[in-house]
Structure 1
Amino acid sequence: MLDFTSALYLGMRHPSARLAPWHSLTLGQPAALREPPGAQALAASLAALQGCEAACVLPSTLHLFWDLFGLLAAERLVILVDGGSYAIARWGAERAQALGLPLRVFPSGEVAVLQSLAAAWGRQGRRPLILADGYVPGSEQVLPLAAYAALARQGGGYLLLDDTQVLGVAGASGGGSARLHGLPGGYDKAGGHLIVGASLAKGLGVPLAVLAGCGALLRRFEAHSQTRVHASPPSVAVLAAARHALALNARHGDALRARLADPRPSPFTAWCWSCW
């Protein structure tokens, strides 16, 4: 059984002796002035893992959702929040609400209610920004994310996923909900509506956030991001841990994910715990 009080679902720990060395923990500059070494290459790898066109790394999902909702508040949208959504993404949504966007919460998984809300607000000229988690801890329900994505696309809006519980844990190669549900990640017009925000802490054991989606949105985010100007970027140590996590995922991720379904001790898992 998964322990949702732990941030180490796959058992990845990234001891410093196994990470690439660094000469300085921080550059002393915000990301808007100078990206930390390896940040852009890491973001590209995380985008590819999720099947998205582009990505950007940030220190936390709090930075991510605060910034993203501030950007999206400038559009004529209505925020439609799945009732199972996690608190941090909701805090971002509440920021956009304070900036003038209407916000409504619908019962988790209720597509008919969501469809009705999207249609009603569409008649007022507002496009849907649907917020949902890739997975809601403790719930036996699989959210109808493909249906959410279809409604977002039909309404000319966005489906924004908090994929913290799924990235690294499910989907092809641990690519998360976009891979798991077959959602286009921004390579064409059909995928431009999908935005994925996630922490790597749960599945990959790294306190780092990634925002992924279509290239146009990511370029706009990086150009207007306030946290990339006013907050410190991810440390060089955290970026090294994230690269280590992706290397482990490529070599052993499928076996580790299989272990979640069969947690009986084995020589492989014993080696995992001793080395990682």
Structure 2
Amino acid sequence: MTNGKPALLEEHPASISLAQSVARLQGLEAGLLYPSTLHLFWDLFQSLGRRPVAVFIDREAYPIAGWGAKWLNGQRIPVMTFSHGDHRGLKGRIKASGRMPVIITDGWCTHCESVMPIRQYLEILSPHKGLLVMDDTQALGILGQGPTPDLPYGRGGGGTLRWLGLQAENVIIGSSLAKGFGTPLAVLAGSHPRIAKVKKDSLTRQHCSPPDHASVMAGHRALLINQKYGHRCRERLLSNVQFFRSKLGPYGILDSNTTFPLQKLGGMPGPLAQQLQLELDKAGIRIFLVAGAREQVHPAFLIRADHRFEDLAHACRITSRHLNCLNHY
């Protein structure tokens, strides 16, 4: 499972090659493998903290990246939030900071169910030689290059940059493999110089255990499956999402028109959402609850490629029945 040595002393060649493979899949030069995104972002931000930077965090960004960035506050480095996706308001704040700007954002936002304005962020950062830090966990393995109306996920599963058709030197991506690839690992990817700098400054690679070998082998297998059968899996996933939407759509209870596998119902009071979650759990259907605006809560379903149509139809029947019983819709 492990040789008991931190990655700084000895890193298994399979770990190195897995990180490189994920980086190339995302269209980037180099990668580092971590046990989790928490390890990853801790290393990244303690490395960035050695420079005079100003950090700007989207207030809706996934919390783990923000936890890493908040360590910088103790180093007297300014860490500020900005309104969700507000690239226009961010431009002036970056110029006024007088430091190298670092923007932290997700690639795909589960709140607004869309890709964030990555292109605009990169344009804002370019004159200041700034850095975009992106958590692309949601999109990796799902989105890829060349999306079309018939194939909205695109091809390859390389994530947000691939989906947008972007190439950039001033971006670094942290992604968990646990969502799209079902493997409890994370990869930090970027240019050769940036990844080499993080590797040199790393504390977790010095003091923490490296990823276990079983997980590394599972990661390699996941990438092999993606290479051979990923397109077929994503076609099946899209078909499942469309089927799910066709069953619940007529009730007018879906939150948006997205075909992303995270499907949310419209917002409702928290107690009502919790009651629906409880009733679905009794029927063997696991959902989760997503906080929305104005204290509303969205029951959410995560659709997978291996779901059967009959499973999805059953979930939709139970959902519509209980919502009718609860007199919400």
Does the pair score TM above 0.5? yes
Larger CA deviation: 132-141 vs 220-229 = 132-141
Which residue number corresponds to residue 51 of structure 2?
75
Cα RMSD for the two superposed structures: 1.7
Q: Structure 2 residue aligned with 1:256, among 219, 233, 236? A: 233
Which residue number corresponds to residue 187 of structure 1?
none
Alignment of 1:19-34 (within 5 A): 25-34=1-10
Distance 2:32 2:74 in 1: 25
Larger radius of gyration: 2
Which residue number corresponds to residue 101 of structure 2?
128
For residue 154 of structure 1, report the CA deviation from its aligned partner.
2.0
For residue 64 of structure 1, report the CA deviation from its aligned partner.
0.4
Structure 1 residues 135-166: Cα deviation after superposition (integer angstroms, max 9, x where no partner)? 12132343111101111222111000001111
Alignment of 1:37-52 (within 5 A): 37-52=13-28
Structure 1 residues 7-65: Cα deviation after superposition (integer angstroms, max 9, x where no partner)? xxxxxxxxxxxxxxxxxx10110000000241111111111100001001011000000
Structure 1 segments (4+ residues) deviating >6 Å = none
Q: Structure 1 residue aligned with 2:182, among 205, 213, 238? A: 205
Which residue number corresponds to residue 57 of structure 1?
33
* Residues 170, 257 of structure 1: 8 Å contact kept: no
Which residue number corresponds to residue 99 of structure 1?
75
Q: Name stretches of at least 5 consecutive residues in structure 2 with no aligned partner.
A: 146-155, 245-304, 309-329
Larger CA deviation: 250-259 vs 216-225 = 250-259
Which residue number corresponds to residue 224 of structure 1?
201
**Does residue 1:89 correspond to 2:73, yes or no?**
no
**Does residue 1:159 correspond to 2:132, yes or no?**
yes
Q: Which residue identity is paired with 2:161?
A: A
* Residues 36, 234 of structure 1: 8 Å contact kept: no
| SS state at 1:38 partner | helix
* Residues 115, 160 of structure 2: 8 Å contact kept: no
**Does residue 1:242 correspond to 2:215, yes or no?**
no
Q: Which residue identity is paired with 1:72?
A: L
| SS state at 1:262 partner | helix
Q: Structure 2 residue aligned with 1:169, among 142, 166, 169? A: 142
Q: Which residue identity is paired with 2:195?
A: L
For residue 237 of structure 1, report the CA deviation from its aligned partner.
0.3
Which residue number corresponds to residue 66 of structure 1?
42
Distance 2:237 2:86 in 1: 29
Task: Normalising by structure 2, report the TM-score.
Answer: 0.69
* Residues 77, 129 of structure 1: 8 Å contact kept: yes
Structure 1 residues 82-131: Cα deviation after superposition (integer angstroms, max 9, x where no partner)? 1220110000010122222101111111111111111111xxx3011000
Distance 2:64 2:306 in 1: 33
For residue 270 of structure 1, report the CA deviation from its aligned partner.
7.5
| SS state at 2:236 partner | helix
The share of aligned pairs that are identical, in percent, is 41
Distance 1:95 1:183 in 2: 30
Distance 1:259 1:104 in 2: 41
Which residue number corresponds to residue 150 of structure 1?
123
Q: Structure 2 residue aligned with 1:180, among 163, 168, 189? A: 163
Structure 1 residues 193-238: Cα deviation after superposition (integer angstroms, max 9, x where no partner)? 1100000000100010000000001111111100000000000000
Which residue number corresponds to residue 115 of structure 1?
91
- Aligned pairs, how many? 236
| SS state at 1:211 partner | strand
Distance 1:110 1:163 in 2: 19
Distance 1:138 1:255 in 2: 28
Distance 1:132 1:96 in 2: 17
